[in-house]
Structure 1
Amino acid sequence: MLLIVALLSSSIEAGYTDGINKSSFQTFFKSVLLDKFTTRGPVLISLPAEVEEHIPNYLNVDDTPITLQWIQDMIFQVVSDISLWPMLVMQSQMQELFDVPKVRNNGYILLVNSHTEEFKDNLTQTLDGLQSTLSWNSRAKFMVIALGISDVRSEELAHAVLSTLKSYENVTDAVLFVVSDNAEWNNSLVLTGNVNITISNKTFPTIYVYSLFPFFDGRCNENYVKLLGKWGSDDFNNTTMFDYFPPKIPKDFMGCTLRIGSFGIEPLLTKEHCTKCGEETSFVIKGIGVEIPHIFAKNMNFTVHFLEPVMDLDQELFINEIVKLMNGDEDMLVGAIPILNQMMMLADLSAPVFLDVLKFHVPCPNPVDKMKRIMSLFSLSTWLCLGLVPILVAVVFWTLSNIPEHNVNFTAFNMISRCFIAAWAVLLGVSVPRMPLSLRMRCLFIIYVWYCFAISTVFQAFFTTYIVEPGYESSLHTVDDVVETGLVFASYDIYKGSEFITELEMISKFKHVVETNDYSKCVEQLLFRKSMFILSSIYGSEFMASRFYFGRKDNVVCFLDDSVMTFIYAVALPKGSPFLEILNEHIGMLLESGFLERCWSEMLHTVKLQAKQYEDSEYVVFNLSHLSPVFIMLLLGYVLCLIVFIMEHTTHFLKFKFEKFPML
């Protein structure tokens, strides 16, 4: 539902315009409201109040002059007849501007009386009051009607009014109707599209239509006022095809300079290099927060001029960049520009460009020592049992061999040393010197073989797994886990504002806090020394890990389970910037095509190629060093077997020698 609010300004003496048929003018204005000034929201009307009119008397009512009071009544009558919008009339006191409903206006109709010398001051005062309300919308349609310019040229009046409008947050979607009582000849209607319609050359009172084009014909944000058309009092029928609100943004800006400021840290911004041309220094800025605005500037044929970037998380520097944007020193601000209510009050924000999640980046758990992992594979009692089993089997073998069974005399295991050798041989998976013959020894032997096979399988599986990748210590999951460790929290200055905005009460829980603004050093110290933790974006931590080329991110980049906040970044523009709509179109098309994901992948790949490799744990080659404990155990077994063999051979040799030569 649409709403009209009539704001009544200070009392003035009104002029009038004679010679224009009221019925024709009312029909003309009604067609403009219905066909060209359509809008989906409240329309605010600002007009003079307590008008003192000195008008001659006329016999025919239609021949009476057109005054501001008559235009006011005519607007109300037209709106009431067609039920276009509900109507709300306000009093003239400026403080009552704040009683205007807090609904964003989509249209404004302003009446200007140029008969007074202070008309520009009155217009400025009215716009100041409108801008101070929460319903102010500089992107709405503005229709300005100026009446009576006997002493002021129409071009001068148009430039003064439209330039004043543009100074209020770049109001450019405005049209000025100048109703003149100066007689003119050979008038013509100028239509959009370079089409001229010749009108009667006998014209007296004239209506001029002006609009402001900041980028017309290669101009770069200049206050160029263009005459759209002019009519005589009897030529209103030729205005049906006229476009009163033509597009103000060209498809080609012909190399106009686009000044881009930037705020943020890597990977949103990366400074490549800078060049100095005269007194100006131009920077080459890249990053996922800059790519889409850069494509926009390239497609629209802008000359991009990057101002010095602010690559620091400092709240004061961020406020300075916002002030530069509001003062018009920058045409666009890119990087870490969050979509917040406070930001939307200061600047126009584009459609969302990039979504980032803020989490606590904590040290990842350290790898477990390989030998420690092997020893912790089983408990101490299990290790003792595993060591006692071969000893007990050897003792049982020796005991059973000394018990005759069914006249079977088996002497292969009648010595305790031979029983230990047989038990060790089965454990290593090699053959025994002699197979047992009795049933009881065979049953014990087969059970022991199955046991050794199972143990060997378990050891091969676990040893191979834990020696190559022994695993990690317990990780941190909650804020309470971090508090218990006593790690130092690195806090940035910009968190003070974020804590107020997002109510980060959990930061007050940390006992050890260090304030810093060097994000890169904090991440580097976290990755290598693991002596602190920070509040970081998931993309920032991943980018820094790729810069140092840690192969596996899951072993280096670790976060707590819960997210602290989610930031949606956009591009900030000055209030009323004409680039917002076309920039949003580029953002939508590029995001749908996956352009930002491709840029992110290419950025990580480029960083990894340029980085120094500190660790590559993407895969581990299985080599001799990983099997060294197993080979050491095997070598010890062989050495023990060799010693036993030498001892047996020596004993056998000495026994044979003494038996053959007893005299020696």
Structure 2
Amino acid sequence: MNEDTKWPIEVSCLDFLIIQEFEEANVKHHSYVMFTWPEGDAVQNLRDQLNQTWKRQSWNPRANFFVVVSGHQTQRSSFLAQQIAEMMWKYYMIMNVVILISEEQNIRRPEIAALPLFTWIPYKDKKCSEIDVFLIDLWLLEGGGRFRDKALLFPIKVPKNFFQCPVRVSVPSLIPFAMLKEKFTDEENCTTYSYVGYEVENFKLVAEALNLSILYGEVPPGRIPETHKKGIDDVVEGFSDLAFGGYPLHLFLANMLDPTIPYLKEYLKWYVPCGNPVPRSEKVANIFKTHMWLAIFFVFMLAAVVMRQLSKRSELFDFESRGFRDVSGCFYNVWAVSMGVPVSDMPRNSTTRFVFLCLVWYCFVLRTLFQTCFTSILVNPGIIDQIRTIEELYQSDLVYFRNDEMDTLVQFTVPDYHSGIRLQKEECGNWSACMTEYLNSQRGAAVSFGVFTEYAVLLSVPAGSEEPQLCTLREDIYRLDYTMYFRKGSPLLGPFNKVIRRIMESGLILKSTNDFKETFRYINWSSGLKLPNLITKTDDGYTVFSLYHLTIIFRVLALGCVMSCVVFVGELLYCKVFK
């Protein structure tokens, strides 16, 4: 066979040491030919071989398996094939198998003998995963051997439509990925669970596309590591077909189970206090740079001087308006135009009028720009002293609100990063206590997941209120890709990956998550889902445009009134002394 096909063939046998194993970590076998014999127990002999093969890195339960039973005498061939198929599916999730049973009497008389080949197809005739082997073809020994029907031995066995076959799911509750909404028990004492969540909505899209019915299993509440381990154990032991609900794509889990392609992203972040608002008077002064203010002052001075000189040298000087005959009048008119108020009289000289018109347009553009920025600053002047990088965080006097769950996760995923944290630590018990301390004080930072924190805070804020502002560093600590986990060899993995990829490309995952966020706070939690109130101080985020925002305007007005009074008193003294 090796000489004819030129393919590498690995041969192994029980109880013999394999000197050199032809396999690599990233190479999977795509075909297996396995021999078993009736001495003792043919099914148990085959299982012993599978146990040894299953431990290798090259193990591939989705490969094509050809099982040969030699020298069979006692049982009916179909019955033995049924037992082999049931064993391979129950313990190893092997579906693509053809079983050839060689009966001793057939070998003795090859001229009339035929070797039966059995297989089975799941989800056929709406039987879901029920095993029912059937004869797919016969190998006739006459004439050197040939197939009687020339049937396709390994057809495509996974359909596109599963005809409402049930899929058993283990879902540990974790905000916002999956949360138990309600459960009820019918008259037959059967308990049905209903879940909602970030991942549940996406899973429903996949199940609807494949026409699967969903059966949620019970995962008792508890700490996050314990509930997630329970979900994984259910899949490994065969009590569930898959598990999801905040499971990251991780090598440790991928060695035990088959993950789907990632469909959700999550980031572990530093949450730091938000910066203080910029003083509005300072912000107004910084609308234009210093050189820009000087340029504007120079333009006003130049306009006043030019209009005064044009009026003075004009032949119609005696007929010119009084406001343009002297320097003080020109400065007064320039100031009036800049403030957007009328002047006492228009210039009569055409040249002076042209300069005056240019000044009006210049002030119009300048005032439009200034008022646009000025109005925005009055409502939201921006923030200062915002911590944006990890170095700025380390240089601050903030403390690290630490809890065991998040700190252990950082230490496990990025140990070098964890050892480099240079902040004074303050224990706060659990995640809720740390986030409560962070949200209601300005003296520390906390580590948490972005989506998880957003939904947890959203749930703790009363419906109709604005959610508080959350500030994070620019760089993230760690990225997680969330996925679903199937049992090794599950035939559902391929169809799930196809549907997930299509709904990701079409944007349906993004739409479903956005829709869920809009209705999240208004769900009636009959299961009693409760979250500690993380917010003790409220800020609705709505800014009322009041007299406080006009303080700088009144300050300028007061300064102008004081200067006017001083000038007025000076004029009175001047007239009294010199006249």
Q: What are the equivalent positions in structure 2 for 1:388-467 lying under 5 Å apart?
A: 464=375, 466-467=377-378
**Deviations for 1:413-448, whole angstroms, at most 9, x for unmatched residues?**
xxxxxxxxx9xx999999999xxxxxxxxxxxxxxx
- Give the corresponding residue for 1:246: 155
Does the 8 Å contact 1:550/1:556 carry over to 2?
no
Does the 8 Å contact 1:100/1:135 carry over to 2?
no
Between the aligned partners of 1:457 and 1:481, the Cα distance in structure 2 is 38
- Give the corresponding residue for 2:472: 559
Is the partner of 1:477 in helix, strand or coil?
A: coil
Is the partner of 2:18 in helix, strand or coil?
A: helix
Amino acid in the other structure paired with 1:296: V
Does the 8 Å contact 1:315/1:497 carry over to 2?
no
- Structure 2 residue 285 is the aligned partner of structure 1 residue 362: no
Q: 109, 128, 134: which is aligned to 1:226?
A: 134
Amino acid in the other structure paired with 1:526: Y
- Structure 2 residue 177 is the aligned partner of structure 1 residue 268: yes
Amino acid in the other structure paired with 2:152: D
Q: Which runs of 5+ in 1 are unaligned?
A: 1-77, 185-201, 379-421, 434-452, 650-664
Amino acid in the other structure paired with 1:216: K
- Structure 2 residue 117 is the aligned partner of structure 1 residue 209: yes
- Give the corresponding residue for 2:205: 295
- Structure 2 residue 31 is the aligned partner of structure 1 residue 118: no
Q: What are the equivalent positions in structure 2 for 1:88-103 lying under 5 Å apart?
A: 88-90=10-12, 92-96=14-18, 99-102=21-24, 103=27
- Structure 2 residue 500 is the aligned partner of structure 1 residue 500: no
Q: What are the equivalent positions in structure 2 for 1:26-425 lying under 5 Å apart?
A: 78-80=1-3, 82-90=4-12, 92-96=14-18, 99-102=21-24, 103-114=27-38, 116-181=39-104, 204-230=112-138, 232-234=140-142, 237-239=146-148, 241-263=150-172, 265-277=174-186, 278-308=188-218, 314-368=224-278
Does the 8 Å contact 2:272/2:387 carry over to 1?
yes
Does the 8 Å contact 2:170/2:240 carry over to 1?
yes
Cα distance change on mapping 1:97 and 1:139 into 2, 3 Å? farther
Cα distance change on mapping 1:631 and 1:93 into 2, 3 Å? same
Moved more, 169-178 or 483-492: 483-492
TM-score (structure 1 length as normaliser): 0.62
**Deviations for 1:188-234, whole angstroms, at most 9, x for unmatched residues?**
xxxxxxxxxxxxxx984231111133433333433332232335544
Cα distance change on mapping 1:461 and 1:109 into 2, 3 Å? closer
- Give the corresponding residue for 1:469: 380
Q: Percent identity?
A: 23
Amino acid in the other structure paired with 2:132: Y
Does the 8 Å contact 1:550/1:617 carry over to 2?
no
Amino acid in the other structure paired with 2:510: E
Cα distance change on mapping 1:490 and 1:550 into 2, 3 Å? farther
Does the 8 Å contact 2:67/2:99 carry over to 1?
yes
Q: 442, 451, 466: which is aligned to 1:539?
A: 451
Between the aligned partners of 1:176 and 1:364, the Cα distance in structure 2 is 68
Q: Which runs of 5+ in 2 are unaligned?
A: 289-331, 345-363, 525-534, 573-579
Does the 8 Å contact 1:546/1:604 carry over to 2?
no
- Structure 2 residue 486 is the aligned partner of structure 1 residue 577: no
Does the 8 Å contact 1:488/1:513 carry over to 2?
yes
Amino acid in the other structure paired with 1:262: V
Cα distance change on mapping 1:590 and 1:492 into 2, 3 Å? farther
TM-score (structure 2 length as normaliser): 0.70
Between the aligned partners of 1:429 and 1:217, the Cα distance in structure 2 is 84
Amino acid in the other structure paired with 1:325: V
Between the aligned partners of 1:463 and 1:296, the Cα distance in structure 2 is 51
Cα distance change on mapping 1:599 and 1:309 into 2, 3 Å? farther
Structure with bigger gyration radius: 1
- Give the corresponding residue for 1:29: none
Amino acid in the other structure paired with 1:496: T
Between the aligned partners of 2:437 and 2:223, the Cα distance in structure 1 is 18
**Deviations for 1:105-127, whole angstroms, at most 9, x for unmatched residues?**
2111011222x133333222211
Does the 8 Å contact 2:173/2:180 carry over to 1?
no
Higher RCO (C-alpha under 8 Å, 6+ residues apart): 2
Query: What's the CA shift for 1:594?
Result: 0.8
- Structure 2 residue 399 is the aligned partner of structure 1 residue 487: yes
Between the aligned partners of 1:354 and 1:628, the Cα distance in structure 2 is 48
Does the 8 Å contact 1:368/1:473 carry over to 2?
yes
**Deviations for 1:30-74, whole angstroms, at most 9, x for unmatched residues?**
xxxxxxxxxxxxxxxxxxxxxxxxxxxxxxxxxxxxxxxxxxxxx
**Deviations for 1:307-348, whole angstroms, at most 9, x for unmatched residues?**
346787733332232222101122111122222221111101
Does the 8 Å contact 1:490/1:532 carry over to 2?
no
Does the 8 Å contact 2:113/2:140 carry over to 1?
yes
**Deviations for 1:523-572, whole angstroms, at most 9, x for unmatched residues?**
4543343454333333334445655489999x823221222122122110
Cα distance change on mapping 1:228 and 1:502 into 2, 3 Å? farther
Cα distance change on mapping 1:224 and 1:516 into 2, 3 Å? farther
Does the 8 Å contact 2:168/2:215 carry over to 1?
yes
Between the aligned partners of 2:367 and 2:69, the Cα distance in structure 1 is 100
**Deviations for 1:369-423, whole angstroms, at most 9, x for unmatched residues?**
6579789999xxxxxxxxxxxxxxxxxxxxxxxxxxxxxxxxxxxxxxxxxxx9x
Cα distance change on mapping 1:99 and 1:496 into 2, 3 Å? farther
Is the partner of 2:253 in helix, strand or coil?
A: helix
Is the partner of 1:178 in helix, strand or coil?
A: strand
Amino acid in the other structure paired with 1:124: R
Is the partner of 1:493 in helix, strand or coil?
A: helix
Aligned residues: 491
Cα distance change on mapping 1:644 and 1:565 into 2, 3 Å? closer
